[in-house]
Each structure stands twice: as structure tokens, then as C-alpha cells.
Structure 1
Amino acid sequence: MTPHPAHDTVAETVRIEGARILATLIRTVGDVQLAEDAVQEASLAALGAWPVTGVPPQPRAWLTVTARRKAIDILRRERARPDKERDGLMMMELSGSEIPPDEVVHDDLLRLIFTCCHPALSPATRIVLALRTLCGLTPAQIGGVLLTTEVATTKRLTRARQKIAAAHIPYRVPAEGELAGRLPAVCGVIHSLYTAGHAPVDGQAAYDVDACAEAIRLAELLHELLPEQTMPASVLALLLLTDARRPSRVDDQGDVVTLDKQDRSHWDTPAITRGIDLLNESLLRTHGQADAYQLQAAIAAEHARAPSYAETDWAEILRLYDLLISIAPSDAAALGRVVAAAEAADPATGLALLNDLPPSPRWHAVRAELLARENRFAEAAQEMTEALAGASTQPEQHHRERRRARFLHLATSPDDVA
């Protein structure tokens, strides 16, 4: 049976507005699990109602009001539990028909971020909880992003909700004295949200525009809240500098365009200018002692400044990667360093460095490209076959398939090498 068009609207509304609706409801009920259940039931109600009554003029408002009603229904079903007086007061507030203005919703989202990042939760749990509540990712998707299993992710989410309830973790932006301890986790969550949109592990699109935009918006809010703190400024700089290249990442058919072939005239110049300004201001405040976000932003700034791929200062990018890995080692940074080293020196240097890193789909894709640059096309095709075995978006999958076909062709027709 073909899904009704209204079902697509429900899914799109929940994907874009779900975190805002959830954040507003949590403020009222003070219970993450209850709020999530209510939003889920409201979404199911929309799937049943909208194909019959039509999509409402304000879908988010419809879902917000319905989620409130569903929360009341859930509370009534659980009236046997203690604390009925609190539930009664909560029901009175839930019964209100007002839809909170955007500025209140924005504050609710910040409260939700800080709740997800409470120090009582482990760093891994904070990221999992934030990806679920802020990004709306399923446990399976979160498992893919964090390289763990769906079962392990589900268990971690359950424990996190239980801990928030048992420890009475407050749903608020913390006092000034608490910010220093919470800020790194909050910035990590916003950066993870952007990464989930910028480089999704699967799906039909090369990136999720809404997730990227939401992460940038939250970074803007955090920077406005804490304008004197350097970390929010450097996170915002990194996101702006990275997102500035997004208009050229795919062509008109939605196919991947690699950095060396992107039309730089389509890059967002105002975003680049603002990102570099934010980075420079934050570096002045830290007296040049860069943190991981500043170093990543500095790498993005080097790409943004370069008139062309060939004119990129790869030696400087390699130096910045060395600094980044010294303070915040990661597989992603190590792979980025391999590419920079290959460009600054030669493909053989990059291939040698790859031997020290754990294989992954992207590792195989990088190795394939470096082998091809040495005219080792049969080996390159095999590596790209390995890359295709891993999860990826459809555009990335199609790009790798085309590259593998190209390598196979060149392996048998070396005279066609350009």
C-alpha cells in the first residue's frame, strides 16, 4: 500500500520540530521518558488524523497541543502511583492551550542540552542521550554513529533516563559557577549533532540540511548565552566554516562532488568571513593556545582561504593535524592527517601512514584513491570494493561505485589514464 502524502508531512515535521516539541514538554512534566512517550503518541495520532482531516496550518502547534493531551492521558493511566498532588498541578499546566513563543522554545532546547550533559552522566551517555533527544536518531542509527550495537544503545538510554529521574537532575541552564564543568560536554553534543547531519552514516541524501542548520542555530544560542567563553565561539566558527562549503558538496543530480572539484565561487563567503573572525577572536582570548575545536576550525579556515585545491597550504594543514592529534586523537583526525600528508608529500607517504590506522569504509576509500594516484588501479578497485561493503549514504555509495568502475576500466586500459 502506498503511504498517504500526509504521512510524509508527519515524518518531516517530527524530524525537524521533534526536539523543540520534546524540549517544551520536558519543561512542563520534568520527565524525559514521559515526554518522549507523549510525543510518540502524538506522532501516531497525526498519522491517523492528518490523512482524514488534512495537514493542519501549523503542524508543530498541532503536535505540541496533542502531545500535552497525551501526557495528561499517560498521567491519568498512572494515577495509582504516589505524588498525585504534583501530577494534578502538572495536569493544570499541561491543560493550557498556549503555544510557547520561539524564544521560549529556544530556551527549552538549551535547557535540554544542559540536562543531557549533566556531570552525573558519563560522557558516552551524554552523547547518546543528546543524539536521541536532540537529533531524533534511533538507537540503531546512534549505534552506527558511535560504532556500538542497537541493544547497547537502548540499554544506555534507559539507564540515562532512570538516572535523570532518580537524581532529580534539574531541567535548566546551570548557574555561572557550574558552566565550566558542563561546557565541554555541551559543545561536544552540538558538534556531534552537526557531524550527524554533515556526514550521516546512511540515508538517501549526502547530508541532512535540517540537522546541520539546527546545530548551527544551537551553537549561535550558546555563543549568545556565553559570549565571553572561547569554546562556544570556536565551535560556532568550526560549524560555519565547514557548512560554508555545503552548497558545492553535491551537483544538480545530488551526486557527491569531491573537494578538489568543487566550484569555490559557490561557497558561502559571509559564513567564511564570520567563521574566521570568530576563530581569531577566540584565539586571542586563549593567547594562541588552541583547543581541539579551534584547531579543527583552523584546518577548515585553511581550506576556505585557498583559491583552489592545488593552492591549498597542505603543509600548514598537516601541522595543524599534528597539533590536533596531540591533544584530541581520533580516527577521523588521523585519516585527515593521512590525506594532508599525501598532498604535502606524495601518495606513498599517505599509504605508509594508513598502515598504522584501523581499517574502516573511509579508510579503504582513502587507500583506493592513493593507490590510483600511483596507477595501481587493480588494487584501488579492490580497496573501493571493501569501502562499498560498509554503510554509507546513497550518494556516497554511488560515488564509490563510479570510482570503482573507473579504476577497473583503467586497470585494463592503462592508455586511458589522463
Structure 2
Amino acid sequence: MKKKVFILICLCLQLFLQGIPAENIVEDDVFASNTKRRIKTFYSMLIQNKKMDLLHFKPYEIKSILSKKQIITQGYDLKTIYKIIDEAKAFTDGERWDTIVALSFPNGNTVYHQLGEGVLWSYIWLPDGKEVFDTSSEPYLFMRIAIISDSDGYVNVREKPDAHSKIVRRIKENELFYFTPISKAEWYPVYLDEALPCIGYIHKSRIKTYGDFPDWLKKKVKKMRVIILNYMNKKTIIFVLVTIELLMSCVLPLNQEWVGLDAVNTSKDSIFIYLARGHQWSPTVYPDTCLPKDTYVGNINLPHTNDSISGYLVPVAPHDTANVELSLIYCADWKNEALEKFFADYPKMTSWFFISVDSVRKYGYNHVASHNIILARYDLTTSDMKSLNMMIPYPPTESMKGMKIWKPLP
């Protein structure tokens, strides 16, 4: 019966699609907010030296990421990178499946993250245009589709990145070509096709990217992205793609999203976070407002502590952000379903303990726990954490007015 219904749906879809122009099927679905969340998780795990395989990277990809960590982060701290991600431009260049986010660092370098649907990273493009995972002798380069921007109706392609260099070709108005954006460069290498070699250089001021194309040319580019095999009918390909997506939405959730809670330390001192929510890594739970003993204290060498892993503390540097909880959620809707699933096994009230790293170094963790030597404790509901956009600040801010906050007497 199910098979018959499926066949009937497919036939109806095919008949329906034949009456729809192809350019209306493939849209620029830029899930910017979800994509940026995934990039924040990537940088949080990279900077805090957490296991990158949780983001579905292969071993050789992780090796490349770690070896180029300084280039990927440009040496900036997590707080600065989060701000860069929030302000970053997200675009597709007419691609149906991938979203590209350009992280423009204050030093003038740009790193591009190209992500597919779900949790998949397609590419990470470095400031020199090279792909982070590529180790071949002929590097795989980032290429963006473009047209010229010049009132003369054409632009000269130079043999070298110099205005006095030999002219090797002219590119006319609305003629499509590709270029590699290189940070801090004035001239970009250009290509007539993604599979062809560089033909020369054009000044970056004469390049217009997909977002500024006229509408008719955007539609043409979208069609180019859809036509995968020359001998297949265009509408048949669209039908297959749409049918697969519809079937996937029936069988599996539409999205896989990393959902997490972050701690934001705006103080001048290093702190530890203990999140009490009643599982094997944090055994206490509200209304028990005591710290557990024999708790594993991060990956730093502290005196008077043991390695009994019955809970954990998360270190957060001054003016920095750290991920405290992270889960992969299968969902269709980030704002509602994903958060509900994330908090499904949370208690009604979750206690956040803020502890001075200096206190743990001086007295040892068990002494701190026994004598409740803490900086503050928040008892937050899931609604409280949602209202803070999953970013829990220390010290408390005005946005936390009305929430349950306990601080020791001076």
C-alpha cells in the first residue's frame, strides 16, 4: 500500500513540476543563523582542543585542521571570533546545497567556511585561496562566479597582477567567469571555467559577484548549478532532487543541528563552570546546591586533585567563551523543536556554579567543594537559558533580572 501511495505521489509531483519554470524550483536557501551556529561550535571545539570528530570530520581532515589552526583562527580568541561570525556575510553564489560564510578578521585576512546541509563541512578556504584539507602538489583553489563591473562594457585581463602588465584577454559585460579571492591582494586570478587554468588577473574593483547580478543572470546561474549531466532532461533532474528531499523529510528529520550552552566570562579572572543537571558527568541536581566531591578538573595540572571522573569542570579564560554542553539534534525547526529536544532530559531547575581557578589552585578542588567556596550560583529554568540565547554570562547582567542568582556574602 505504501509503495502504491509513493508511486502516486511521484507521478503527481512530476506532472505538477512540468508546469513550473525550472528557475523557480532551485532557490537560494541561506540558513545563515543555523550555519553560523555550526561555525561557532567548530571554533569553540578547535580552540578548546575538543574532539573534532564529533563534527563528522575524517581523521586526515582533523589532522589538516589542527596543523593549520593558527591560520584558521588567525590567532584570535573565541570571543572575538564569535563577534566576527555574527557580523559575517553568508551567501550561496547560486548553489542549491551549500552556504558560504566569509569570516573577515580584523587583520585583513578572510577565511571562508562552505557548509552543506546538516553538519557537513564541504570546504574551508584559507586567506590564500587554498583549501584546508588539500595536500596535493597542485592546490585546489576557491573559485567564485562573477561578471565584470565597468562602465566601459569590458575589462582587460592582465598577464600579471599589475596595471602595466601585458593584456592577454578582454572579458565583456555579463560574461561569466570565475576568480579566486586572495586576502589583502589587489588583483585576483581569473578563470573561464572552474576546470580550466588561470588566464590572468583582474583588479578586484572590477569584479561583481553573484549577489549583485541582474535577476535574469541569477536565473541562468541557478540553471547551470542544477544541470549535472548534459544528456539528462533538466526537469527530470529537478524532479529527482525535489522528490529525494521530500522523501527525506518524511523518513528523517530535515536538519541535524548542534545545540549547545555556552558560558561567557566577562571578568578579568579565569573561572571554572560546574553545571549540575543530574547525569554521570554532573551527578548533583537542584535542589541539592552543593558541589560534588572527587570531580575531574579539566586538562590542567592542579594540586590536591584526583582523576575520579564523577563530574567535570569547564575552564573559561578571562573575557572568553566556552562551550559547556553540546548535543547533535535531529529536527525540522531550530527555534522550537531543536531546543525542546535539547532540554528534554534537563531538570526543571539547573544550577550553574562559578568557581575561581585561583581558589582551586590554592586549596584543591575537594576543599573548595566541602566549604562551598564559589563566586556565584545561578538556578536557571530552561526558559531562563533560552531567554539568554543559550549564552550564560558571568558576572550576571541586567538581562538576568528576576532570575535566581546567589552570591556569597563578602
Name the TM-score class by shorter chain. Answer: under 0.3
Larger radius of gyration: 2
Instruction: Choose between structure 1 and 2: higher helix proportion.
Output: 1
**TM-score, normalised by the number of residues in structure 1:** 0.23
Instruction: Choose between structure 1 and 2: higher strand proportion.
Output: 2
**TM-score, normalised by the number of residues in structure 2:** 0.24
Larger relative contact order, structure 1 or 2 (CA cutoff 8 Å, min sep 6): 2
